Chains A and B, each alone.
Chain A
């Protein structure tokens, strides 16, 4: 996989999403639970705005000094017996990991959930080198068996129902049980336990690295990340270069924000902080540890007005708050990063050519900005993207450009404004019935496809006001 998923054009993807009744119901109910969980957790904690401020300050300080902290991190990891590889591109990262797999003669690689490895297409790369790759997060495993991309960054299989999951398990793994989620999960436990024990290499992502001590922390609930980092002899952790905090004290704050904003938990079942290789007298944990730090387009965001997009802690609060996401689902975005943060990040990482529609997939209602635990101004970034698409990339239609030039002329010339608003009622008369337009012409079509449009009033406000002034003057 890469950032981009599928080849369908935007309009088709949206229609697929809108037509998928089960998915929409599932997303809508999940959003409801996520949202109330987040709000409840924030309220219980108290001082939520202070927490957000602190989160923003930590992320901002880290990004401003990213070179320093990554240097410190790499020194510490090396000191603890680990190897650090800085990869500018997805290709470099994959080739390095393929090389390790080759050296280890690895047959089986077991993975815990990681968005960055989806982004760089690590699974395909490892499979090409002859490894069997097993995703061990329940949601990711379901998707892997079904060859389906994730539709949410925290609960990747949100769009699937239990009947579909049962069918996948039956077809791919010979499952014979019911569609009871508990039974399905027990089956996954039993199947994957063997994979954990047999695997030669464990691959993880990284929620946050701690620069001061070289720890890689993983925030999970299922326990699979602990399996991946306890049982195989070799551990490879892949991190987006921005996923780092300076100290343990900073870690604690961003983790507190992450678990609350993501799922409304005070802490998830497992926060695992792993530093280097296992020590000499220890029995479990890896004897060989590699940390791969990935740029893959991120550095182009540094130093720009989009820098705060790198503050993202991948909690999906913006996705869960987004009313557009609720109706179209994750796959409609055509990116492994869906929702508001996806609409901001995807064009930055993967260019505008394939993703120019994403910044417009928002009403700019700012529910995302309000939900973000580190105060990324997501809706403002979306407006800025639109500016770039219009002014730098020149990707909008000529008709739209003409219309907006017309708008500028109209709104900056009171006489033109007055004339057109005066004429509006007459102009729209042919389409008006009982003071409403049910089927409008030209640019109004999109509006009236979905709802009625009111006819302009008989008398504008300014006419009324002028008459009133005249009356009072007399």
Chain B
């Protein structure tokens, strides 16, 4: 199975390890992974801020970059969902909308791809420690990926998974919201940090680097000694 990796601009720049783990994971289950170098950002920062025409420029670049791909897989529910919105955003340009639809149809979030397409529920990982998982809003509510991460994590040997109180609440990231409404965002992520504290977990696991960076940044600011990881980093342990 040929898979083109959609790395997301955050992972590309800030957490390349997440990309490496994603590649290795997919290869382990027989995928032939390539990396289309023309990819940039999915356009969400502009789209969600109301800059539709600006975001469309990014979208068209992404459509071009992945045109040849058989499957597109990315380690982010939020960015993958943005790709899935392309046909709607480009509805005014039928030719682009059609190309967008093709991209949307073949695009999957990593855990979704593992569970739903590759039919893998146990990746054979071992990770010793106590962790809690934050199910990101776009992954669960917009993309509808609710069970896959939980199924995969429950099958990781040695992992003691503690339920995060009020886990379905947003961490306060919200893209530009974190900057534009930083005071509100700060209170939201503080509440999240307190819930993480309540679990006494050593690790915080997330499926979206934006949210992980937000929560991790607050944990670090608070001096909380919780390590934060992307789910791919846990699943690719042996």
Contact = CB atoms under 8 A, between A and B. Distances in A.
A323 B12 contact: no
B40 A411 contact: yes
Given A387-B51, A409-B57, 14 more contacts: A14-B184, A323-B172, A363-B175, A389-B50, A408-B46, A412-B40, A417-B40, A446-B179, A447-B178, A451-B189, A454-B14, A454-B15, A461-B12, A465-B23
Interface of A: 14-15, 18, 323-324, 327-328, 359-367, 369-370, 383, 385-391, 396, 400, 404-405, 407-414, 417, 421, 424, 436, 438, 443-447, 449-454, 456-457, 459-465
Given A383-B48, A408-B46, A451 B188 contact: no
Interface centre among A365, A391, A396, A412, by most chain B C-beta atoms within 10 angstroms, is: A365
Nearest to A363: B174
A408 B9 CA distance: 14
Contact of B19 (A14, A449, A461): A461
Contact of B141 (A328, A361, A366): A366
Contacts of B173: 363
Interface in B200-238: 213-214, 216-218, 220-221
Contacts of B191: 323, 327
Contacts of A328: 184
B230 to A, nearest CB: 12
B174 A407 contact: no
Contacts of A456: 13-14
B115 interface: no
A174 B45 CA distance: 56
A461 B232 CA distance: 14
B16 interface: yes
Given A367-B170, A452-B220, A411 B178 contact: no
Q: How large is the interface on B (under 10, 10 to 19, 20 to 34, 35 or more residues)?
A: 35 or more
Contacts of A444: 179
Contact of A386 (B49, B60, B221): B49
A449 B23 CA distance: 35
Contacts of B147: none
Interface in B170-205: 170, 172-175, 177-189, 191
B47 interface: yes
Contacts of A449: 182, 186
A324 B16 contact: no
Contact of A446 (B9, B12, B19, B178): B178
B73 to A, nearest CB: 14
A384 B16 CA distance: 34
B155 interface: no
B117 interface: no
Contacts of B84: none
Smallest CB-CB A-B distances: 8 pairs: A363-B174, A386-B50, A451-B217, A450-B186, A411-B58, A365-B170, A446-B179, A461-B19
Given A386-B50, A461-B20, A365 B137 contact: yes
B184 A324 contact: yes
A367 B50 contact: no
Contacts of A359: 50
B38 interface: yes
B175 to A, nearest CB: 8
Interface in B43-100: 43, 45-55, 57-58, 60-61, 65
A445 B185 CA distance: 13
B105 to A, nearest CB: 21
Contact of B184 (A361, A391, A452, A459): A361
A462 B141 CA distance: 30
B193 to A, nearest CB: 9
B215 to A, nearest CB: 8
A360 B181 contact: yes
